[in-house]
Structure 1
Amino acid sequence: MKAAGIIVEYNPFHNGHLYHLQKTKEITGADVVVAVMSGNFIQRGEPAIVNKWARTKMALLNGVDVVFELPFAYACNSAEVFAYGAISILNSLGVNWVVFGSEAGDISLLKKIAMHLAFEEEEFRKYLKIYLKEGHSFPKARELALKKVSSEDFEFLPNNILGVEYIKWILRTDSKIEPLTIKRVGSLYNDPNLGSGSFCSATAIRQNINNLELIRDKMPPFSYQVLMEEIESGRGPVSLNDFFEFFLYRAIVYKDFLKEQFDVKEGLENRFYNHIFSSSSLEDLLSKVKTKRYTLTRLQRIFIHCLVDSKVNQKTLLSTKPYIRVLGFNSRGKRYLNSIKEKVKYITKLDSYIMKNPECNSLLELEIRASQIHALKYKEFHKYLQLEFKQHPIYIPSRE
């Protein structure tokens, strides 16, 4: 079966996502669309507003055929690591295309920029080192270095950057996947305004989540229905500030808990310790810790990894193949899974997998812990702490 891959968060699934999905089917003619989706924490360092099982259901009801999990260690990480994890999974699955949205909508332009990053010529490395020494964050230093070595008119916007990273890893892994891009329509990625049309950003939906009538027309009916069910059941919305007290608890009980945590270096732990007990909220704390090198998004990711007690190393992640775990599928997806089962070892039932593999993959251990922490903010949370083990892949018959 010819398969098109998409890399998603669906936080939550909105009309722009449906447009992307429909265009993916149109331009590839694929037999099946497989999604690699972030779990309960997302790339910008925030919890998903509802859990991955609800978002999997949204995806399947709107026409995705199979949903695979992007492990926490990759999902809540830099664009480079996020993209590596997703492309690695799609490589393992042997998909024919990866289709992503971008502000540029020009695959040839994105390929040209990706070439600089994939092979990092000497001139590029020289400028990157200079800008890092000046105290710029890594993304900013890389942007400035690219502008020095490339004459292309390229805007460093969120979806463009991710698209370039996908292509970079396709090049570096000598992948046979063909990258395709769809021009992003409607509002920008971080635009907080709902606007008057049917398209808006997921950011705008999350910021207006307490007024469900305002967001109804911005989401496909199935997505809106699932979101309503989750909120009415007390399983959302979950927000970053919900976890501030947990962070304070760790700081009180484990005075050196920040040492050796993910991405904590250059004395950053001292900036946290200096401000943590005088901050009224997480937003207040991060505003005090933020520097030119440590952006707000990067600090949010550090915060989440500290909650999960994640000591993952970026170099290790970029040399490790993520596990392949199925979160859900429809009838077409079931046929696809059957067609690849001889070549691809994928996890469907976590409880039985762990029984057969008692050592448990360290990436999977992190995923379980992250999901349990996310569940602490649900009403009647005790019912959901073992959800990772009890929930088998969601199956929804295809509407063919």
Structure 2
Amino acid sequence: MRTVGLIVEYNPFHNGHLYHVQQSVKHTGAAATVAVMSGNFLQRGEPALLDKWARAEMALAGGCDLVIELPIAYATQPAEWFAYGAVSLLEATGVVDTLCFGSESGDLDGLAQIAELLADEPSRFRELLRSLLLEGRSYPAAYAEAAMAYMGEQGIARERLPDLSSPNNTLGLHYLMALRRIGSAIRPYTVLREKAGYHQTDITDCRIASATAIRQLLASGDALDAIAPYVPASTLRILQREWDAGRAPVSWQSFAPQLLHTLAVSSPERLAALHGMTEGLEHRLLGALPRLTDADFESLLAALKTRRYTRTKLQRVLLSVLLGHAAAELTPARLGAGVSYVRVLGFSSAGQALLAQMRRQARLPILMSAARPPSELPYLALDVQASAVYSLAQHRPNGETMYRDYLLPPIRA
């Protein structure tokens, strides 16, 4: 049967996500959906509002049939490696034949044209990118401008191409490049993102709001009822349960004491060995501590942020500090080797049938928990460690909540 793959975070699952699931099935004619979902920490280097099991439950209630976890080694990376890990995971299932992603342009042909020319990163493109980075541009801005400049040099007018400063267009481009790089036969589709942009904080529609706007409503102290128009009833029910249990909401501020403690007792040499710690950023981190106006996360970020260092870049670096991710663990060579397991977070009855098919066709071992994994899986320990740290932000954590990866079976819809 035709199966569509989705690459998601669902932080939290809202009506726009529901529309994307429904349109993905409609566009592809799929009989089942597989969602590759980030775990407890997300692509922009921030903790999820709710843990991965609650968000997997939301996904199943919203129409996904099988939810598998994108390992944290890829889930918190810039677009290139995030996309490579997620697409490799969909390919490894052996059952996914289509991929449908949201984009601001809805222009699959335009994105495919760029992907065809940039998939192998031609030397002229790398030269343009280096030049823009040396001018002090952030990496996302430099990448988008270098791509447009290179396409122009190939005789393709900028106005005929999708805007790569738009985050979903950029992710879509990297999904297409990842498909090319691994030689996948998965067929891509895109759904036009409408009514709410990825980062849009104001709400301009009676039913659709971005996850950013929804989280902002919740952070402002509004009751859960305030987001009711913008999320399915199942999401609201799960949110209320997690709130009542003290397992949510989680934010960066939840980890401020642990983060500041780690920075306070770290040497520059120790920080320099962490993933993402480039250009002497370890000295800027330590130098910011005496200048904090408050011992909280936003004060730290304000002391660090510059035109060159975006919020996302700094969040990823601080996440490496919090989780102890060493640069040697996350080199391009190791990431390029691809995922080495398929970790199942939840499934429906249709998903259970997919799992039976995957046991025959998958290219990687299928894990229903992290208990007794094959010893050759290099990144599973990072997932378990991330879950243990994440649980410390919840009410009265204990050994069981810290190591739910070993104890909790997949969610069944």
TM-score after normalising by structure 2 = 0.92
Paired AA for residue 389 in structure 1: Y
Query: Which residue in 2 is equivalent to 1:176?
Result: 185
- Say if 1:71 and 1:177 are closer, same or farther in 2 by CA, change over 3 A: same
Report what 2:154 is aligned to: none
Q: What's the offset of the Cα at 1:385?
A: 1.0
- Out of 381, 390, 396, the position equivalent to 1:374 is 390
Between 1:192-201 and 1:15-24, the stretch displaced more is 192-201
- Name the residue aligned to 2:358: 340
Q: Residue type of the partner of 2:370?
A: L
TM-superposed CA distance for 1:137, in Å, is 2.2
Structure 2 SS opposite 1:293 = coil
Residue 310 of structure 1: aligned partner: 325
Tell me what 1:395 maps to.
412
2:337 pairs with one of 299, 319, 328: 319
Measure the CA separation in 2 of the matches of 1:254 and 1:274: 12
SS of aligned partner of 1:77: coil
Of residues 169-178 and 250-259 in structure 1, the stretch that sits farther from structure 2 once superposed is 250-259
**Structure 1 equivalent of residue 174 of structure 2:** 165
Aligned equivalent of 1:289? 304
Distance 2:25 2:205 in 1: 27
| Alignment equivalent of 1:264, drawn from 277, 289, 295 | 277
The 5 A counterparts of 1:78-93 are 78-93=78-93
- Is the contact made by 1:85 and 1:322 (CA closer than 8 Å) also made in structure 2? no
**Preserved contact between residue 97 and residue 180 of structure 1 (Cα < 8 Å):** yes
**Cα shift at 1:21:** 0.3
Q: Which moved more, 1:322-331 or 1:112-121?
A: 112-121
Counterpart for residue 255 of structure 1:
267
Report the more deviating stretch, 83-92 or 114-123: 114-123
The answer (yes or no) to whether the contact 2:340–2:377 under 8 Å persists in 1 is no
* Matching residue of 2:115: 114
Provide the residue aligned with 2:234 in structure 1.
222
Residue 378 of structure 1 aligns with an amino acid whose one-letter code is Q
**Bigger CA drift: 23-32 or 126-135?**
126-135
Deviations 1:35-80 (A, max 9, x none): 0000000111110000000000011112100000001111111011
The whole-number CA distance in structure 1 between the counterparts of 2:199 and 2:146 is 24
Taking only the aligned residue pairs, the percentage that are identical comes to 39
Equivalent residue for 1:298? 313
Cα distance in 2 for partners of 1:314, 1:89 equals 19
Instruction: Please say if residues 5 and 90 of structure 1, whose CA atoms lie closer than 8 Å, have aligned partners that are also in contact.
Output: yes
Report the alpha carbon displacement of residue 30 of structure 1 after superposing the two structures with TM: 1.1
1:273 equivalenced with 2:299 (yes/no): no
Which residue matches 1:329? 347
The structural deviation recorded for 1:360 is 6.1
Question: Would you say 1:240 and 2:246 are equivalent positions?
Answer: no
Measured after TM superposition, the shift of residue 245 of structure 1 is: 1.2
- The one-letter code sitting in structure 2 at the alignment partner of 1:324 is V
- Asked if the contact 1:39/1:70 (under 8 Å) is kept, the reply is yes
1:33 matches 2:50:
no
Taking the aligned partners of 1:219 and 1:86, their CA distance within structure 2 comes to: 25
Distance 2:391 2:342 in 1: 23
**3-state SS of paired residue (1:136):** coil
TM-score normalised to structure 1 length: 0.95
In structure 2, the CA distance between the partners of 1:196 and 1:122, relative to structure 1 (3 Å rule), is closer
The answer (yes or no) to whether the contact 2:277–2:317 under 8 Å persists in 1 is yes
Moved over 4 A (4+): none
Structure 1: runs of 5 or more not aligned: none
Aligned to 2:5, what secondary structure does the other structure show? strand
CA distance in 2, matches of 1:119, 1:385: 41
**Displacement of 1:288:** 2.3
User: Do residues 349 (structure 1) and 401 (structure 2) align?
Assistant: no
**What is the total number of aligned residue pairs between the two structures?**
392
- Which amino acid is the alignment partner of residue 302 of structure 2? S
Output the aligned Cα RMSD.
1.4
CA apart distance, 1:196:
4.1
**1:208 counterpart = 2:225:** no
What is the CA-CA distance between 1:293 and the residue it aligns to? 2.8
> What SS does structure 2 have at the residue aligned with 1:6?
strand
Give the distance between the partners of 2:61 and 2:203, measured in 1 at CA. 24
Distance 1:374 1:227 in 2: 17
